[in-house]
Structure 1
Amino acid sequence: MTSTPQRHQHPEPGHHPGHGPGPEHGQPQSAAAQGHSHGHAHGHSHGHSHGHGPATPVSAHLRKVIAAILVPFAAAVAAGLIVLWPGGTPDHKAHERTGLGFDQQTVAGRVVKVEEVDCADVNAQPQQPIEPGQDVTNQQSAAGGPGSGEKTICEKATIEVTSGKDKGRRFEEIVQPNASRKFSAGQKLKLAYAPKAPKNLQYSVSDVDRAMPMALLAGLFALAVVAVGRLRGVFALVALAVSFGVLTLFILPAILQGSNPLVVAVIGGSAIMLIALYMCHGLTARTSVAVLGTLVSLLLIGLLGSLFIGWASLTGNTDDQTGLVHGLYPDIEIRGLLLAGVIIGSLGVLDDVTVTQTSAVWELRAADPTAGRRALYAAAMRIGRDHIASVVNTLVLAYAGASLPLLLLFSIADSGVGTVATSELVAEEIVRTLVGSIGLIASVPVTTALATLVVCADRAPEGGAEQGGRTSRSGRGRRRRARGR
């Protein structure tokens, strides 16, 4: 079957392909030519719209059904934000600072100069680990201590306070040769201030000032996101800023002021989910399905986390930071804080899985509009199985990497696997990992089923909506071309 050149040209505005006059001669085409041109034009338009255009819209009825579920949920989240809003971070002046960990008053400082000195001249004795069978005398001799006859070189750093009421004051810090942190002239530091200590001991080095490299890395990250994601990347960065704002302005202060950590995490996490998903992916039915899938999975994670944290008798008070927070704010429920961490930690990966599955269902439906619910669900689940296998592995490795020093300590202790796994330190991470992974696994079939129901619910009648008619005519056009070949 041959075709003339004008049959492959796009129709002019105002002309329906195959029904108006020819673009060159102004004469009607034959029925076969009309069918060929009609099928080709609509087939091309259909494929182009799904390959590069927006997602196929759903009917007004389905949008109302989805809205009837999500609008009350969003209203409940907004009400929870209003009721539990802490009104700012707690006033640290209301209690005495401990001066431990992050609960320190800090000022800026810099290293003025560094010089080498004899450790004995500054009364600094390097500490060396005592090996089995070695007494203290031998240790001191090996370290260059008294009786060794060897000089041990230390570093004396002169440090200047560059902010606060004592700006310009200088003090000295001795760095032993086996210290992990070394100083260099001009290096910026964070200094801890202890007002009740003797004047010559009020300032000490707390940490290194890392503002510049961290800001540069954040700038490179933002540049990469915008360069690849373009406008959507910009929205993703805005959503990230909003999420961080909800975390620092609502979740953390509300927990510190005594609100139930689990309730705060659910409300704050739901707010982050709604803002991030709709801002990044648009106010569409496809995004709403991803929100529903994420919500169901979060509820499952909350229930399982609450059950197994209580059943395993996990207290959540397993590190110095948690103990310090509990000491400063005794009213905080530490076990609820652990469960809140599980929910918030799982939220980011859940968003990725649910959005990917919803998009997969929509694109599969666009590629084959005639596919039934069962075939569409099976095809999307094949994609989901590949995705979930890699995501679960990523989640487990992320928790293992964060707990690597702890795992090394257990390896050094040569404890059995059962002893290590059931200790509270490790059991807490295991419960956190497995509960989050179960929620991720469940999100795949749940989100896929919801998306399949939505995209297959609309059946365009003959001569109905423009989208339905376009799809139907495109299918007839493809069948005619197949018979012609």
Structure 2
Amino acid sequence: MNAIVVLSVVLLGLMLLIGGRKGLRSFFSLFLNFGVIFITLALLLNPDLNPVILTFIASALIGCISLFFINEVNSKTVIAFISTMITITLLLAFIFFVSNTLMIQGFGEEETEAISGYSLYIGIDFLKIGVSVIILSTIGAIMDVAISIASSMFEMNKHNPSVSKKELFASGMSIGRDILGTDTNTLFFAFFGGYLALLIWFKDLTYSIGEIVNSKIFSSELMLILCAGTGIALVIPITSWINANYLKKPGKMKSDS
């Protein structure tokens, strides 16, 4: 067996041991999400299809798999899904505006040698491809925050039914603030971990700080982090508000299975 098979077996064993049936569903959801992304990438090569619309549909499918397939359909996952899709919609407009303004789509001069043998006349709008890349890179973090807040607020309301809507919303925001710091740092260090070789290359070629900051490849990745952080920040009040209004709506069941 090669290393990938061995690591997959180890991961499956640990997810079964710790997560049980839910861990098994989580493991298979990885392959389902990979299938969605693979199909999306194949469709993105079609110049007649809009990459942004395809990305939105892919985000919805990934959300369904990650929330409903793993955690089943219930009030918490439905609210997390709605919050995620609202955030993605707002983020799409924001990212499209920022990408169009900064003009950082396409390839940087550091990548010229690697792509010199390929034709760039492929009939695809690189601006929309850049927006798609950022959304697909942030969907996981946004869903993670949404379901974390939704679950915490449901538990709080379950154990303290007398809590007011305002207090419940404030609790959701407080939970979100704690998550915001850790998730933003996760994205930040993921970038530096993935692009450590590039940073070493910048250092080896004696790039100045100004040249590094103005490098297209560096700026595009940094914008990915900032947009992802924006998405995480947006989903916190959205999820908290929807949850508080749902849980305190007259006639609604205050607990979730």
Equivalent in the alignment of 1:257: 46
| 2:60 is the alignment partner of 1:270 | yes
Equivalent in the alignment of 2:126: 334
| 2:248 is the alignment partner of 1:456 | yes
Alpha-carbon separation, structure 1, partners of 2:155 and 2:112: 49
Candidates 438, 441, 445, aligned match of 2:230: 438
Candidates 91, 96, 107, aligned match of 1:306: 96
Equivalent in the alignment of 2:155: 363
Equivalent in the alignment of 2:82: 292
Candidates 233, 238, 246, aligned match of 2:36: 246
CA contact (8 A) 2:107 2:216 kept: no
Moved more, 415-424 or 261-270: 415-424
CA contact (8 A) 2:107 2:217 kept: no
Q: Supply the RMSD in Å over aligned alpha carbons.
A: 2.3
Alpha-carbon separation, structure 1, partners of 2:219 and 2:141: 22
* 1:402-481 map, 5 Å: 402-459=194-251
How far does residue 315 in structure 1 lie from its aligned partner after superposition?
2.5
Alpha-carbon separation, structure 2, partners of 1:324 and 1:455: 57
**Structure 1 residues 326 and 396, CA gap change in structure 2 (3 angstroms):** farther
Moved more, 426-435 or 373-382: 373-382
Deviations 1:378-437 (A, max 9, x none): 122222111110000001111121111111222233433233112212111111110111
Alpha-carbon separation, structure 1, partners of 2:84 and 2:4: 32
CA contact (8 A) 2:146 2:236 kept: yes
State the AA in 2 paired with 1:256.
Answer: L
State the AA in 1 paired with 2:229.
Answer: S
State the AA in 2 paired with 1:348.
Answer: G
Alpha-carbon separation, structure 1, partners of 2:208 and 2:143: 37
**Structure 1 residues 324 and 447, CA gap change in structure 2 (3 angstroms):** farther
Equivalent in the alignment of 1:386: 178
Equivalent in the alignment of 1:130: none
CA contact (8 A) 1:326 1:332 kept: no
**Structure 1 residues 322 and 442, CA gap change in structure 2 (3 angstroms):** farther
Alpha-carbon separation, structure 2, partners of 1:284 and 1:347: 20
Alpha-carbon separation, structure 2, partners of 1:324 and 1:330: 14
In structure 2, stretches of 5+ residues that fail to align are none
SS across alignment from 1:365: helix
* 1:177-188 map, 5 Å: none
Alpha-carbon separation, structure 2, partners of 1:309 and 1:385: 27
How far does residue 320 in structure 1 lie from its aligned partner after superposition?
6.0
- Greater strand content: 1
CA contact (8 A) 1:305 1:431 kept: no
Equivalent in the alignment of 2:72: 282
- Greater helix content: 2
| 2:11 is the alignment partner of 1:214 | no
Alpha-carbon separation, structure 2, partners of 1:321 and 1:294: 39
How far does residue 329 in structure 1 lie from its aligned partner after superposition?
6.8
CA contact (8 A) 1:246 1:268 kept: yes
Equivalent in the alignment of 1:230: 20
> Which of the pair has the greater relative contact order for Cα pairs under 8 Å at 6+ separation?
2
How far does residue 316 in structure 1 lie from its aligned partner after superposition?
2.1
CA contact (8 A) 1:256 1:332 kept: yes
Equivalent in the alignment of 1:109: none
**Structure 1 residues 328 and 285, CA gap change in structure 2 (3 angstroms):** same
**Structure 1 residues 393 and 445, CA gap change in structure 2 (3 angstroms):** same
In structure 1, stretches of 5+ residues that fail to align are 1-210, 461-466, 471-485
* 1:185-196 map, 5 Å: none
Equivalent in the alignment of 1:399: 191
Alpha-carbon separation, structure 1, partners of 2:115 and 2:170: 49
Structure whose CA Rg is larger: 1
Equivalent in the alignment of 2:139: 347
* 1:109-188 map, 5 Å: none
SS across alignment from 2:162: coil
Alpha-carbon separation, structure 2, partners of 1:324 and 1:261: 25
CA contact (8 A) 1:392 1:437 kept: yes
Deviations 1:272-309 (A, max 9, x none): 11222111111112111000111111112211211111
How far does residue 450 in structure 1 lie from its aligned partner after superposition?
0.8
**Structure 1 residues 440 and 324, CA gap change in structure 2 (3 angstroms):** farther
**Normalized against structure 2, the TM-score is what?**
0.90
SS across alignment from 1:340: helix
How far does residue 321 in structure 1 lie from its aligned partner after superposition?
9.9
SS across alignment from 2:2: helix
CA contact (8 A) 1:364 1:380 kept: no
CA contact (8 A) 1:290 1:351 kept: yes
How far does residue 322 in structure 1 lie from its aligned partner after superposition?
8.5
SS across alignment from 2:17: helix
**Structure 1 residues 414 and 324, CA gap change in structure 2 (3 angstroms):** closer
Alpha-carbon separation, structure 2, partners of 1:326 and 1:341: 21
Report percent identity of matched pairs. Answer: 21
